[in-house]
Structure 1
Amino acid sequence: MRAIRGLWRWRHNPLRRTSDLVEAWVALVALLLILVAAPVIGSLVGGVAQDALQRVAKDQQAARHPVTATVVRKLDRSPLDTDPETTSGRDLRSRVLADWTAPDGTARQGAALAALTSPHHGDHFRIWTDAHGRIVARPLDSATATTHAVLAGFGAALLTAGAVEGGRRMIVWRMVRRRYARWDQAWDKAGPDWGRTGTGS
């Protein structure tokens, strides 16, 4: 962005090339796009993501139900797992065989992940099920949906800024290559003995 600082200086400078002025204007336009367009696009993407994720959260909260399950026994060689929705990765879960009653009143039994470090027969824990009693993931909550939407908007703004800066660099690179090509043509026209012109050699 050094070219922006030199934009005013280049206005009436006799050494100014057209490409110098164009490069400075390209840098200025890129800066304005980064400062204006990137936040606007980030805000739009974040708003769309917020609406979509809040609808998903509302649908999941309506379709999923918390149910109390009872441990029948711990399953052998059960891998420890973490719940991705908890704030701490230390909330270890054990794989157990459990009984529970579905929201429709039917009795169910199956493997489940219990938030118990050492589960015993008769221990209770909470699971989430659909209306038929099948175990499902915890529903998305409103705060998590908002966090994901903010991250989506921030990511979109960063991608926009990166794309603008990448475009600016590509334009400047092409201008520099064209400038070097013109210099090569000028050197070819001058010939190999340009420094000895008029010396009689």
Structure 2
Amino acid sequence: MTRTPPTAVPRVRLWRWRRNPLRRHSDIVEAWIVLATWILALLAGTAAGAAVAYCTDTALSARRAQAHPVSAVLTDDAAKTPAAGGGYDDARVWATVRWTARDGSVRTDRVKVLPGTAAGATVTMWADRADRVVPPPASASEAGAQMVLGGALAAQVTGTAVWGAGWLVRTRLVRRRLAEWDEEWKRIGPEWRDLSGGRG
């Protein structure tokens, strides 16, 4: 005996947007919620990413504008090896340098230099407008990378948050629809069983 395979039920795409007798008002509402969620997630994510990228660029530009390179002289020989346990250190060592500030006064401070640099060597350091030692500002490539990474992260987080909010609204709508179906079945189920002769 040959067994007839079950007939596959065709999947109708975008059925919530098409007129059919089984479509309810809640189906239309759910379709609009899904569409609005994706649009808002895309727009909000794009806006957040652009805003973060702009703020990052503005902050880095301001930092570059406030810092200037200064030539300083090493007062002592730098250590030949970095200190152990530097963690995320850049393999340089701390050393004391001397430089002349813009007001003509002589300043001294500690900056990072290459290991083994001899006393009297000229090194380039960065200072702010008050001639205080500051970390070197980010280069153009580093600034660009920070802008891209920050913008992408902000876009992803914002888009995910909006999508999650839409998913919660849709979930509540589905639960409400299931509850309505349950109530209708409790009302219609006994009548259907009577019509079918008690079967089912």
Give the alignment's TM-score, normalised by structure 1. Answer: 0.67
Match of 2:104 in 1: 105
Q: How many residues align?
A: 184
The answer (yes or no) to whether the contact 1:7–1:21 under 8 Å persists in 2 is no
Match among 18, 35, 44 for residue 28 of structure 1: 35
Match among 122, 125, 137 for residue 123 of structure 2: 125
Whether 1:16 aligns to 2:23 is yes
- Kindly state the Cα deviation for residue 187 of structure 1 after the two structures are TM-superposed: 5.0
- Kindly state the Cα deviation for residue 93 of structure 1 after the two structures are TM-superposed: 0.9
Secondary structure in structure 1 of the residue aligned to 2:77: strand
Q: Distance in 2 between matches of 1:183 and 1:8?
A: 19
The answer (yes or no) to whether the contact 1:74–1:95 under 8 Å persists in 2 is yes
Task: Identify unmatched segments of 5+ residues in structure 2.
Answer: 1-11
Counterpart of 1:97, as a letter, is T
Task: Report the structure, 1 or 2, having the larger strand content.
Answer: 1
Task: Identify unmatched segments of 5+ residues in structure 1.
Answer: 83-88
The answer (yes or no) to whether the contact 1:47–1:149 under 8 Å persists in 2 is yes
Counterpart of 1:54, as a letter, is S
Match among 153, 169, 172 for residue 167 of structure 2: 169
Secondary structure in structure 2 of the residue aligned to 1:92: coil
Match among 38, 50, 53 for residue 43 of structure 1: 50
- Kindly state the Cα deviation for residue 75 of structure 1 after the two structures are TM-superposed: 6.2
Give the alignment's TM-score, normalised by structure 2. Answer: 0.68
- Kindly state the Cα deviation for residue 45 of structure 1 after the two structures are TM-superposed: 4.5
Counterpart of 1:156, as a letter, is A
Q: Distance in 1 between matches of 2:82 and 2:95?
A: 8
Match of 1:134 in 2: 132
The answer (yes or no) to whether the contact 1:71–1:124 under 8 Å persists in 2 is no
After superposition, the Cα gap between the structure-2 partners of 1:98 and 1:56, relative to the gap in structure 1 and judged at 3 Å, is closer
Q: Percent identity between the aligned chains?
A: 34
When the two chains are superposed, the root-mean-square deviation of aligned CA atoms in Å is 3.7
